[in-house]
Structure 1
Amino acid sequence: MRRHPLLIGAAATPLLAFGLVSTPAAAAEGDLIVNGGFESGTSGWSCSAAETVSDPVHAGASALSGAASAWDNATCSQTVAVQPDTEYTLSGFVQGSYVYLGESVTGASTWTSASSYSELETTFTTGANQTTATVYVHGWYGQGSYLADDISLVGPQGEVSVPDAPTAVAAADVTDTAVTLSWTAPSGPVTEYTVLRDGQPVGTTSQTSFTDTGLSAETDYVYTVTADNSAGSSAPSEALTVTTAPADSGGDGDNGGGDDGDGDNGDGDNGSSTGPASELPEHLLTGYWQNFDNGATPLRLSDVPTSYDLIAVAFADAVRTDGAKVSFHVDEGLSDALGGYTEDDVIADIAALHERGQKVIISVGGELGRVVVASSSAADSFANSVIELIETYGFDGVDIDLENGLNATYMEQALRKIEQALPGAIITMAPQTIDMLSPSREYFSLALAIKDILTIVNTQYYNSGSMNGCDGGVYAQGDIDFITTQACTLLQGGLEPSQVGLGLPASPSGAGSGYVPTSMVNDALTCLAEGVACGDFTPETTWPGIRGAMTWSINWDADNGYAFANAVSTQLDALP
């Protein structure tokens, strides 16, 4: 979501990033980097919070886009074989605020802030016994997305040997049909990893995690992993036996999958037969109500039209003395704009919305939200503060809209504690597009882990740039194919249709980019539900239970005469 313009802070001394995945082969004469132009996605690189995009690029068809957050600088690294006591030149083209390029063994680095592609270059000399070099590119904490392209390391290549076997293979997010594996990388250059199930290869990856799908319920599978480079493949890792969960269980709680539950939310049931979540309509419209005045129409909660089924009050913020605990108050600017609007007024208005059959939840985070839940004690603090807000104001649940990253393990603990205290509470999420590109990402992982209590994920299909779709194509935001292929990724990744919503801006002012007309929102819903009104992409299957749509924000929609709510709510009512 968008709240206020981001204030860019002063530069800080960078932390050196160490790569996990590596590659030794030369991409061109004298250049040791493999896939330095990111034409093959992130193959050969180990990346955190980074994907490839098709626009803007420095050259070729792809570039790297990293999403730096408050605690993740979105590093991409690669380890190559080098010769001792030898000089190398590292260069690349970058764009963004405080973007760093460097080599972590020697400590050589350089950085820039640039609004368009700018070249960075640094040289370093390897040590007397140094045989590998780990190069990296990353942004800076809290400074947002950056771009990188055409990274090269020029110098003589060192001797490449077969890598050691990966270690510490572990399983998480075990469901009845899928399992996510992770492992620790060996030292030395690695081009990719091969994952074997029962002795047979099932896929390769340049990352240190892999999701295996298409499995049978309550079945034992034996996994091993090899590390590969130009010299050959390592010995297999130690074997790991994984037992899939019972059918429709929503995951094995002992493996990060959560407590047993139905997992089928086709009728809006989040695992409890009673409570606010069970009272939502089959297809619903969600809107965010702004608790601040930023130029959109100031509204009292009681002003929200009944076309909105679910209202997310934005936002609860972190308490300064405890980054996991959240509080809520009426912004002074909004109160002044409304001629006085107090917490008591909010409580009364929520009760009035309930009388109309509408549900109201408290949203945590937003663009500038800095809520950090990274331990069991923090999970308790977060959950207790949310429960207190729900009980004080009469909220029906909570929305997780943390746009600076989250820890899936501890956020799951917090959300389960909230649901246990308030059975049937509405639990929603509003991740950015990049957060839901793969089940291995923290947000997607969290959604799958709490599938038995999750109401809906309203992914923000805006402020995104170009992204990979479920069919392997690359699509630019602002197009129906972007919306449908992104939603398809969630549906194919394990979420129920009733847990997937389409998040779009209510007006061009509601987002920096990605606004589409309401007719396109309606066509995307129809395409996913019925396989008609599609763009170039038509899904092979349909999802009549697709849950609905979300917009930022109700206030910006009010500026437009509620054009979004009027058009999209009508279409939702017409869905099968």
Structure 2
Amino acid sequence: MDISHIKCLPHTYANTYPNAHSDTNTDAYPTPTPTPTPTPTPTPVPGLAKHALVGYWHNFTNPSGNTYPIAQVSNDWDVIVVSFGDNAGGGNVSFTLDPGAGSEAQFIADIKTKQAQGKKVVLSLGGQNGSVSVGSDAEATNFANSLYGIISKYGFDGIDLDLENGVAQGAAIQTYLPVAVKKLKAKVGASFYLSMAPEWVYVEGGFTSYGSIWGAYIPIINALRDELTILHPQYYNNGDIYTPYQSAPLRAGSADQLVGTAKMLIEGFTYGGNTFAGLRPDQVAFGVPSGRSSANSGFTTSADVSNALNCLTKLLNCGTIVPKQAYPGFRGVMTWSINWDKHDGYNFSAPTKAVLKTLP
């Protein structure tokens, strides 16, 4: 979803912006009440790279080119997110392999080969034009059963929730999607991989204005904290971002924006009179486009990606926004997409992977 045309109302504390949510604190730019990072009780997914490069692989043809076998995906990618599963109705999910990926037998073998190389291969649900409907306990059961069948058949490590349609405040999916995911994990076991790729308005957007789609992913994240492997919001196609750290928005794609939004997810922020408790650093990554062709806005340079990663993990090369401390466990980078990156001559993955290898 592209909401770059929507005016983002700044979050305010002192009646400066009458239409925005306000708090009782009248400081000009206060920081939300510090929230300790929760003790990492869940066991992280085994075999996942400490600092991961996550990319979406197209199970469809678009201007970047035709689908191609997963065996041809560069070894720089640590997590290959297959996009997308389909909404089969009633909570059910289906998956149809594009012929360009090869036969089903080849696809299954390619997944096993990638996994033997230490990679994760997961199935994404949603996307710009897709949706998932889980509005009751019965649909939650259908969701879990259908996906377990797909995971068992193809050997996926888990799922990615890239829901850009149908998630809003008060929608039944906020209640029943977590139920469905928990049912699925109970079937798959402790190795189950779960990532989320919401557009930033669904998460950090709750700081600006909590209602409709703004912050609508927060209840889902809160309900699945123990199951969540990585949250990597999309910081592209949706405009500049307001944070607790300055009055002006942070420019989409800038190093300060990548650091500021990661800082919010790890250190916590306020939304609708509540506080979002920080996630573990290893549960957080940032999502950026792989190049100028793969997104309409939010392009970030390799230098900004490098500076953001070094700032977050080492407190080096920071700009205006600085974390409270270094987070050496910060997970890494997600991008749309593997296919566009290949089309562009690996201009994104090669330098980004090189930086990830230098992190503590």
TM-score tier, shorter chain, comes to 0.7 to 0.9
Aligned to 2:75: 306
Shift, 1:316, TM fit: 0.3
Does residue 1:396 correspond to 2:157, yes or no? Answer: yes
Does residue 1:262 correspond to 2:41, yes or no? Answer: yes
Does residue 1:490 correspond to 2:287, yes or no? Answer: no
Aligned to 1:463: 237
Q: For residues 129 and 8 of structure 2, what CA distance do their matches in structure 1 show?
A: 30
Q: For residues 311 and 288 of structure 1, what CA distance do their matches in structure 2 show?
A: 6
Aligned to 1:450: 224
The residue identity in structure 1 corresponding to 2:186 is Q
The residue identity in structure 2 corresponding to 1:476 is R
Against the structure 1 CA distance between its residues 341 and 539, is the aligned structure 2 distance closer, same or farther, given a 3 Å change threshold? same
Structure 1 or 2: larger helix share?
2
Against the structure 1 CA distance between its residues 38 and 561, is the aligned structure 2 distance closer, same or farther, given a 3 Å change threshold? closer
Aligned to 2:170: none
Against the structure 1 CA distance between its residues 532 and 385, is the aligned structure 2 distance closer, same or farther, given a 3 Å change threshold? same
Matches within 5 A, 1:123-522: 248=39, 262-263=41-42, 269-270=43-44, 277-298=45-66, 299-319=68-88, 322-331=89-98, 335=99, 338=100, 341-406=102-167, 407-423=173-189, 424-437=191-204, 438=206, 441-473=215-247, 474-493=249-268, 494-522=278-306
Contact between 1:323 and 1:370, CA under 8 Å: does it hold in 2?
no
Please, which runs of 5 or more residues in structure 2 have no aligned partner? Answer: 27-31, 168-172, 269-277
Matches within 5 A, 1:71-82: none
Contact between 2:82 and 2:121, CA under 8 Å: does it hold in 1?
yes
Contact between 1:38 and 1:62, CA under 8 Å: does it hold in 2?
no
Structure 1 or 2: larger strand share?
1
Q: What TM-score comes out, normalization by structure 2 length?
A: 0.82
Against the structure 1 CA distance between its residues 378 and 480, is the aligned structure 2 distance closer, same or farther, given a 3 Å change threshold? same
Please, which runs of 5 or more residues in structure 1 have no aligned partner? Answer: 3-36, 46-60, 65-75, 77-190, 195-202, 205-211, 217-246, 249-260, 264-268, 271-276
Shift, 1:365, TM fit: 0.5
Which of the residues 333, 348, 352 maps onto 1:564? 348
Contact between 2:91 and 2:140, CA under 8 Å: does it hold in 1?
yes
Q: For residues 281 and 548 of structure 1, what CA distance do their matches in structure 2 show?
A: 9
Against the structure 1 CA distance between its residues 487 and 353, is the aligned structure 2 distance closer, same or farther, given a 3 Å change threshold? same
The residue identity in structure 1 corresponding to 2:73 is V
Q: What TM-score comes out, normalization by structure 1 length?
A: 0.52
Which structure has more relative contact order (CA 8 Å, sep 6+)? It is 2
The residue identity in structure 1 corresponding to 2:266 is L
Rg comparison, structure with higher value: 1
CA RMSD for the aligned pairs? Answer: 3.0
Aligned to 2:336: 552
Shift, 1:341, TM fit: 2.5
The C-alpha deviation readout for 1:122-172, integer Å capped at 9, x for no partner, is: xxxxxxxxxxxxxxxxxxxxxxxxxxxxxxxxxxxxxxxxxxxxxxxxxxx
Shift, 1:544, TM fit: 1.3
Contact between 1:38 and 1:63, CA under 8 Å: does it hold in 2?
no
Q: For residues 178 and 279 of structure 2, what CA distance do their matches in structure 1 show?
A: 16
Q: For residues 59 and 9 of structure 2, what CA distance do their matches in structure 1 show?
A: 43
The C-alpha deviation readout for 1:293-312, integer Å capped at 9, x for no partner, is: 10113321110111111100
The C-alpha deviation readout for 1:330-388, integer Å capped at 9, x for no partner, is: 23xxx3xx4x7333332121122122221100000001112121222221111111111
Shift, 1:398, TM fit: 0.5
Q: How many residues align?
A: 327
* % identical aligned pairs: 36
Contact between 2:237 and 2:298, CA under 8 Å: does it hold in 1?
yes
Q: For residues 442 and 534 of structure 1, what CA distance do their matches in structure 2 show?
A: 30
Against the structure 1 CA distance between its residues 554 and 452, is the aligned structure 2 distance closer, same or farther, given a 3 Å change threshold? same
Q: For residues 391 and 551 of structure 1, what CA distance do their matches in structure 2 show?
A: 26
Shift, 1:413, TM fit: 0.7
The C-alpha deviation readout for 1:470-511, integer Å capped at 9, x for no partner, is: 414311212111111111111112111000011111111111
Q: For residues 42 and 214 of structure 1, what CA distance do their matches in structure 2 show?
A: 18
Shift, 1:563, TM fit: 2.2
The C-alpha deviation readout for 1:57-84, integer Å capped at 9, x for no partner, is: xxxx9898xxxxxxxxxxx9xxxxxxxx
Contact between 2:125 and 2:131, CA under 8 Å: does it hold in 1?
no
